[in-house]
Structure formats: C-alpha cells, structure tokens
Amino acid sequence: MGDVRMLQLLFELKTRPQYEHDKLLRFTDVMCIADLKARDPTWQWEPHLMLTALGFGGGDLRMNLVAAVHRGNVDEIQWLHERSYAMTAETADSAAAAQRPAVLAYLYAHTTARAIDEAAWGGHLPVVRFLHAHLAGGCTPQAMNGAALRGYLDVVQFLHENRREGCTPNAMNGAAARGHLSVVQFLHENRREGCS
C-alpha cells in the first residue's frame, strides 16, 4: 500500500486500448478510498501518492475537501488548497458547522473580500459572521442583494446592522420577484435604496 510506482503502472495500463474499459482498473474512486483511509488514525497522509492520483484523474475533490474540513486536518486542506482546489462558502460553512476554529482561521487567511458576498448568497450566516469579524477587507452590495434575492432574512438583517456596503434596488426587486415578503418588508422599513 502507498506504492507510487504501482499506482503509476496501473494508470498506464488504463491508457492502453486492451484495458481501456476494464472495470478492475477504475480510478474515479481513488480519492474516496484515500478519504476513507484518512479516517483511520493510524494511516498517514501520503502527499506523493495523492499527487500521483490527482495527476492521472479521479475523485470528487470538493467532497474530500469538505471531509478534510470535518476532520479538522489543516495540513490536508493546505495541501489541496496549494494545488488550486477552491475554498468555497460550502467549505467555510462546513468548518463553522464542525466547529473547527483552526480550519476557519486557515480559510480566512486565504480568502478574498468576495468571500462574504459568496457566503451571503448561500445564506451561510455563521460564515458571514466569522468573516465579518476577522476579514480585513469588506464585501460589496452584492452580498445583501444576493441574500435578499434568495430570501435569507437573517443574513440581510446581519449585513444591514453590521456592514456599510448596503445594497442596490436589486435587493428589493429580487426579493419581491421571488415572493420573499418578509425580506421586502424589512428592506422597505430599514433601507433607502427602494426598488424599481
């Protein structure tokens, strides 16, 4: 187990016509298997083996990133992030839900101002709160616009009470178009942007 040369040989075999459709040489589950093995505390994270697997394809890395977040494995998250696997609102939300402060700290150190916008659009209030408290940058009016459009009243209220970026008339327009009456009422009573 963990033999990089053997894994490379198996990937090479898969490229040959006679083995192209061989069900025994499927590699789409390589990352999932690695993830399951990672749950065993005696198994060591093997970056060279994973790099080989990633180089030849296979696995849903978003799921592995979320699983790494739930385990609180900052080294594994850093390894995936360094190979350009995006930290999404889902990733940060998983870290907040799993109460992994070390992971949240890593994510916040490697995020941009768009992170609050993305978290607000997804209705991830715990992530919006964390980023608001820790992120040096701000967000854009798109944060409140998106939260309103999708009916996340709690996020709209938080942004209204804690941020200065505000929104545009698109916030009320979007909330009204989607039937989010409580959001429309809140915006009407508390914001000056109005609607068109």
Of residues 130 and 64, more confidence is placed in 130
Q: Is there a domain that residue 160 lies in?
A: yes
Tokens of 132: 């608001």
Cβ(96)–Cβ(104) below 8 Å:
yes
Model confidence pLDDT, tens digit, residues 76-116 = 777 777 766 666 666 766 776 666 777 777 777 776 657 78
DSSP 18: G
Of residues 101 and 54, more confidence is placed in 101
Q: Is there a domain that residue 31 lies in?
A: no
Q: Where are the alpha helices (DSSP H) in the chain?
A: 4-15, 30-38, 47-56, 61-71, 74-82, 89-97, 101-109, 114-121, 125-134, 141-149, 153-162, 169-177, 181-190
Q: Is there a domain that residue 150 lies in?
A: yes
What is the CATH classification number for the domain harbouring 172?
1.25.40.20
- Given a cut of 80, whether residue 147 has pLDDT beyond it is yes
Share of the chain above pLDDT 90, in %: 27
Cα 139 to Cα 150: distance, rounded to the nearest angstrom: 18
Cα 136 to Cα 150: distance, rounded to the nearest angstrom: 26
Q: Is there a domain that residue 153 lies in?
A: yes
* Total tally of structural domains belonging to the chain: 1
Cα 176 to Cα 172: distance, rounded to the nearest angstrom: 6
Q: Is there a domain that residue 67 lies in?
A: no
Q: Is there a domain that residue 139 lies in?
A: yes
Q: Which residues form the domain of 169?
A: 115-196
- In this prediction, residues 150-177 reach a mean pLDDT of 95
Would you mind telling me the total number of residues written for the chain in this entry? 196
Q: Is there a domain that residue 9 lies in?
A: no
On the CB side of 9, CA atoms within 13 Å amount to 4
Q: Is there a domain that residue 49 lies in?
A: no
| 2-6, 111-115, 116-120, 155-159: the lowest-pLDDT one | 2-6
